[in-house]
Structure 1
Amino acid sequence: MKVSQKLIEKYNTPVPRYTSYPPANFFSPEFTPEEYVKVLEQSNDENPQNISIYIHIPFCPKICYFCGCNTHLTRDENKMEVYVDALKKEIRMVKKLLSDDRKVSQVHWGGGTPNSLPIAMVEDIMNLIHELFDYIPNPEIAMECHPAMLDKDYIDRLAALKFNRFSLGIQDFDTKVLENVNRDPSILPEEELVAMIRSHEGTSVNFDFIYGLPFQDEASFAKTIERAISLSPDRLVTFSYAHVPWVKKAQKILDARGLPAATQKLAMFEVGYRLLTENGYDAIGLDHFARPDDELSIAFKNKTLHRNFQGYCTRETTGQVYAFGSTGISQLENAYAQNAKDTNTYVDQINKGKFTIEKGYQLNPTEKIIRHVINEVMCNYYISWEEAAQILQTTPAVIKQSIVYDESFLAGFVEEGLLTISKDELHVSKQGRFFVRNIAASLDPNMRNATLKFSKAL
Structure 2
Amino acid sequence: MKQSVIEKYNVPVPRYTSYPPANYFREMGEEELVNAIRQSNAANDRNLSFYFHLPFCRHLCHYCACNSYAMRSTEVVDNYLKAVHQEIDLVFPLLEKDRKVSQIHFGGGSPTAMRPAVIKEFNDHILSNFQTIERPEIAIECHPGYLSLADWQALVDAGFTRMSIGIQDFDEQVLHTVNRRPTQEPIEDIFALLRNGGIKINLDFLYGLPGQTAEKFAYNIERAIALQPERLVLFSYAHVPWLKKQQLILEKAGLPTPEEKERIFTTAEQMLTDAGYVRIGMDHFVRPDDELYQAVTTKQLHRNFQGYCTRRTTAQVYAFGVTGISQLETAYAQNTKDIDEYISMVNNGVLPVKKGYTLTAEEQKTRDFIEQLMCNYHVTLDEDTLERYRTKLLHIEADGIISLNGQSVAMTTEGMPFVRNVAAAIDPLMEHTTKSFSKPI
- TM-score scaled to structure 2, two decimals? 0.98
Residues paired across the two proteins, number: 441
Q: Report the 3-state secondary structure (helix = DSSP H, G, I; strand = E; otherwise coil) of the residue aligned with 1:92.
A: helix
Matching residue of 2:421 = 438
- Residues 224-260 of structure 1 deviation map (CA, whole Å, 9 limit, x = unaligned): 1111111111100001100001111111111111111
Structure 2: give runs of 5+ residues left out of the alignment.
Answer: none
Tell me the equivalent position of 1:14.
Answer: 12
Residue 94 in structure 1 maps to residue 91 in structure 2: yes
Specify the alignment match of 1:59 in structure 2: 56
**Residue 271 (structure 1) aligned with residue 267 (structure 2):** yes
- Give secondary structure in 1 for the equivalent of 2:132: strand
Indicate the residue corresponding to 1:293 in structure 2. 289
What secondary structure sits across from 2:216 in the alignment? helix
- Listed as ranges, the matches of 1:40-119 within 5 Å are 40-74=37-71, 76-119=73-116
Q: Deviations over 1:16-63 (max 9, x none)?
A: 00000000000002x111111111111101131111100000000010
TM-score using structure 1 length: 0.94
Structure 1 position 417, deviation (Å): 2.1
Structure 1 partner of 2:440: 457
Question: Take 2:143 and 2:166, find their aligned partners in 1: how far apart are those partners?
Answer: 5
Question: CA separation in 2, counterparts of 1:374 and 1:449?
Answer: 18
Give the letter aligned to residue 79 of structure 1.
V
Contact kept in structure 2, 1:336 and 1:362, CA below 8 Å? yes
Query: What is the match of residue 429 of structure 1?
Result: 412
**1:319 aligns with one of 311, 315, 321:** 315
Separation (CA, whole Å) in 2 of partners of 1:404 and 1:304: 27
Work out whether 1:183 is the aligned partner of 2:180: yes
Counterpart check, 1:417 vs 2:372: no
Q: Deviations over 1:247-298 (max 9, x none)?
A: 1111111111111111011000101110111101000001000000101011
Aligned equivalents of 2:76, 2:130: Cα separation in 1? 27
Asked if the contact 1:243–1:455 (Cα under 8 Å) also holds between the matched residues in 2, the reply is: yes
Corresponding residue number in structure 2 for 1:255: 251
1:60 touches 1:75 (CA, 8 Å); kept in 2? no
Aligned alpha-carbon RMSD (Å) = 1.2
* Aligned pairs for 1:372-391 within 5 A: 372-385=368-381
From 4, 20, 23, the counterpart of 2:21:
23
8 Å contact 1:81–1:121 — kept in the other structure?
no
Amino acid at match of 2:17: T
Structure 1 contact 69–111 (Cα < 8 Å) conserved: yes
Sequence identity percentage: 47
Q: Is the 8 A contact 2:120 2:159 kept in 1?
A: no
The answer to whether the 8 A contact 1:141-1:165 is kept is yes
1:150-229 alignment to 2 at 5 Å?
Answer: 150-201=147-198, 203-229=199-225
Paired residue type of 2:393: L
CA distance in 2, matches of 1:144, 1:96: 28
- 1:303 positional shift: 1.6
Query: 2:348 corresponds to which residue?
Result: 352
The offset of 1:5, in angstroms, is 1.2
Letter in 1 for 2:129: L
Letter in 2 for 1:57: L
CA distance in 1, matches of 2:116, 2:409: 47
